[in-house]
Amino acid sequence: AQSVAQPEDQVNVAEGNPLTVKCTYSVSGNPYLFWYVQYPNRGLQFLLKYITGDNLVKGSYGFEAEFNKSQTSFHLKKPSALVSDSALYFCARTGGGNKLTFGTGTQLKVEL
Amino acid sequence: GAVVSQHPSRVICKSGTSVKIECRSLDFQATTMFWYRQFPKQSLMLMATSNEGSKATYEQGVEKDKFLINHASLTLSTLTVTSAHPEDSSFYICSARARTSGSVTDTQYFGPGTRLTVL
């Protein structure tokens, strides 16, 4: 079955420091990978996606993610975190069907 | 671009009543819309996939007679929670996939969600 895993429930980082939110995917079918962010009591906002091509994908708000086939990972990164980046981040995938399969989410907390 | 709206944003109703939630793609046509349910501090659970002009496809364990979905046009899908009970209280989120290639690689854009509380 196609799945994604987010091994960290919460990530804490100081403002100005680089941040990484981890995501790994199951090796099943073609992995089309997405990152979304959710602010409290809001829907999900699309950040970026990897379909094919360049392994480094740049997205909204300065975020980027690197598709790593050997490690089956698609970690979300940002060089310099902002307090306003604090939110819930979801990794997701499709492949072989309509559905988006979501990870369990990682709460990012950026502190001053 | 790619804005999805939901209405209402919040609803409180009595047990036994029905509640309708609307999902609209404002600046694009969506051949496919999705309805999700999210419990506190949990991920999104897909309830059903809705294609314009055809019956919705429900996920296993989701009662289609309780959660009625209508995708009447390329910009509107509705979810009706019939005879709501307290256990139906949740955050309901819709998403819409733009009518481009119709491929699974197309991005889903999400609405802001509807908080349903059943007393």
pLDDT tens across B104-116, in order? 567 889 999 999 9
**Which amino acid type is present at position B52?**
E
With an 8 Å Cβ cutoff, the interface of chain A facing chain B consists of 32, 34, 36, 41-46, 49, 51, 90, 94-100, 102-105
Q: Quick one: tokens of B48? A: 């059903």
Average pLDDT over residues B32-56: 88
Which positions in chain A touch B113 (Cβ < 8 Å)?
41-43
Beta-bridge partner residues of A111: A14
Asked whether the predicted pLDDT for residue A67 surpasses 90, the reply is yes
Tell me the nearest-neighbour CA distance from B107 into chain A, angstroms. Answer: 8
Determine the Cα–Cα distance for residues B14 and A56; give it in Å rounded to an integer.
Answer: 50
What is the structure's pLDDT at B86? 95
Residue B102 has pLDDT above 60, yes or no: no
Q: Hey, what are A90's tokens?
A: 């979801």
Residue B97 predicted with pLDDT over 90:
no
Residue A38's pLDDT band, with cuts at 50, 70 and 90, is: very high
Give the count of Cβ contacts less than 8 A between chain A and B. Answer: 56
Q: Measured between CA atoms, how close is B108 to chain A, in angstroms?
A: 8
Q: Which of A16-25, B33-42, B93-102 has the lowest mean pLDDT?
A: B93-102
For residues B5 and A102, give the distance between their C-alpha atoms in angstroms, rounded to a whole number: 21
- pLDDT band with cut points at 50, 70 and 90 for residue A18: very high
Residue B72 pLDDT > 80: yes
Of A95, A98, A102, which has the smallest distance from its Cβ to B44's Cβ?
A102
| Mutation for A interface: B92, B104, B110, most A CBs within 10 A | B104
What pLDDT does residue B25 have? 92
Contact A43 B110 (CB under 8 A): yes
The more confidently predicted of residues A96 and A57 is A57
DSSP SS3 for A53: coil
Q: Using one digit for the tens of pLDDT, what is the confidence trace for A71-102? A: 999 999 999 999 999 999 999 998 656 688 89
In this model, does residue B101 exceed pLDDT 60? no
- Residue B85 confidence class, pLDDT cut points 50, 70, 90: very high
CA-CA distance, A40 to A68, in Å (whole number)? 30
pLDDT at B36: 95
So what's the pLDDT on residue B99?
65
